[in-house]
């Protein structure tokens, strides 16, 4: 009898440890990650660390090019990827669970804005699609982003059948000590745009889209800010007569 109850206890103890080891679920993971998570602060271990954000604007379609007004209307996906030091876990503790899809509202996000947005559209994406968090702390967020934007061409960049101009994207409030934005890929139409873009506009085709980052000093503030430029080249379609 003693032996019997001893083995029973042993079984219970071992069973509990075993269960603890193997029954960690997605809910457990969410509790462990977000129990003390503060989405209002930059997710870095030390205040001196800079968060590097990879950015691209994957074009879906051209809705308008207004040469006179120097504005363009585009449907895009804004692609953002960064590292969050507090969203990391060991997949082997969670039955191999190596990524989470959760509301963008629950995590810190860089306030990446379209600097050149027209006053009548939002500077920021307004649809908060889910983010994907990988177990190594990489966060990817790809909200749809439709906008009208100023797109002033540089001197000599407008010909009878082409229009060339630049969109600017960057963090609205974080200077280069806090957040740096960098292009995800240089030739967007050969990268993400290859699958996303449909050349459906009657008048204009988007012939190239090249991204490159820069750092800029503004008169408002002592520190530099980083930006990703998207150089667009539109070509008038042959049968168009505007
Ligand atoms: C984290 O994992 C993802 C998915 O496997 C990968 O794409 C990403 O590059 C990794 N991030 C780092 C910082 O290694």
- Pairing type for strands 138-141 and 71-83 reads antiparallel
- Per-residue model confidence as pLDDT tens digits over 174-190: 999 999 999 999 999 99
* Alpha carbon of 134 to ligand 1 centroid (Å): 7
The pLDDT of 85-110, averaged and rounded, is 96
Model confidence at 211, in pLDDT bands (50, 70, 90)? very high
Given this model, what pLDDT does residue 3 score? 52
Given this model, what pLDDT does residue 14 score? 47
- The SS3 call for residue 105 is helix
- The SS3 call for residue 29 is helix
- Per-residue model confidence as pLDDT tens digits over 102-155: 999 999 999 999 999 999 999 999 999 999 999 999 999 999 999 999 998 877
Q: Find out whether 153 and 70 touch, Cβ atoms under 8 Å.
A: yes
Q: Find out whether 84 and 43 touch, Cβ atoms under 8 Å.
A: yes
Q: Find out whether 123 and 169 touch, Cβ atoms under 8 Å.
A: no
Say how far apart CA 118 and CA 168 lie, in whole Å.
12
Residue 2: is its pLDDT beyond 70? Answer: no
Say how far apart CA 93 and CA 107 lie, in whole Å.
22
Both structure tokens of 145: 């982003």
**The ligand 1 atom nearest the CA atom of 137:** 1
The H or E element containing residue 230 is: strand 224-236
Chain-wide mean pLDDT for the chain? Answer: 90
Given this model, what pLDDT does residue 112 score? 97
Q: Find out whether 113 and 169 touch, Cβ atoms under 8 Å.
A: yes
Ligand 1 pocket mutation, candidates 134, 139, 141, criterion most atoms within 8 A of CB: 134
Of the candidates 165, 145, 160, 239, the one whose C-alpha atom is nearest the C-alpha of residue 206 is 165
CA dihedral 36→37→40→43, nearest 10 degrees, is 120
* Alpha carbon of 214 to ligand 1 centroid (Å): 25
- The CA-CA-CA angle for residues 87, 17, 88, to 5°, reads 10
The H or E element containing residue 195 is: helix 193-196
pLDDT-above-70 percentage for the chain: 90
Ramachandran class of 95: left when φ > 0, alpha when ψ lies in -120 to 50, beta otherwise: left
Ligand 1 pocket, CB under 6 A: 83, 134, 136, 138
């Amino acid at each position: 009898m003693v032996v019997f109850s001893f083995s029973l206890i042993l079984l219970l103890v071992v069973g509990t440890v075993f269960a603890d080891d193997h029954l960690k679920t997605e809910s457990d993971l969410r509790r462990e990650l977000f129990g003390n998570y503060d989405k209002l602060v930059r997710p870095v271990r030390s205040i001196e660390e800079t968060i590097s954000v990879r950015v691209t604007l994957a074009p879906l379609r051209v809705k308008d090019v207004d040469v006179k007004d120097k504005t363009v209307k585009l449907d895009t996906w804004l692609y953002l990827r960064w590292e969050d030091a507090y969203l990391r876990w060991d997949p082997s503790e969670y039955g191999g669970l190596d990524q989470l899809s959760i509301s963008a509202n629950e995590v810190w996000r860089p306030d990446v804005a379209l600097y050149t947005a027209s006053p009548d559209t939002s500077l920021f994406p307004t649809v908060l699609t889910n983010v994907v968090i990988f177990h190594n702390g990489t966060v990817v967020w790809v909200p749809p982003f439709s906008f009208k934007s100023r797109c002033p061409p540089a001197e000599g960049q407008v010909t009878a059948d082409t229009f060339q101009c630049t969109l600017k994207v960057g963090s609205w409030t974080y200077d280069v000590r806090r957040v740096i934005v960098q292009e995800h890929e240089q030739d967007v139409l050969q990268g993400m745009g290859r699958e996303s873009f449909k050349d459906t506009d009657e008048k204009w085709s988007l012939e190239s889209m090249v991204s490159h980052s820069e750092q800029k000093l503004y008169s408002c503030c002592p520190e530099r800010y980083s930006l990703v430029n998207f150089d667009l080249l539109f070509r008038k379609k042959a049968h168009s007569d505007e």
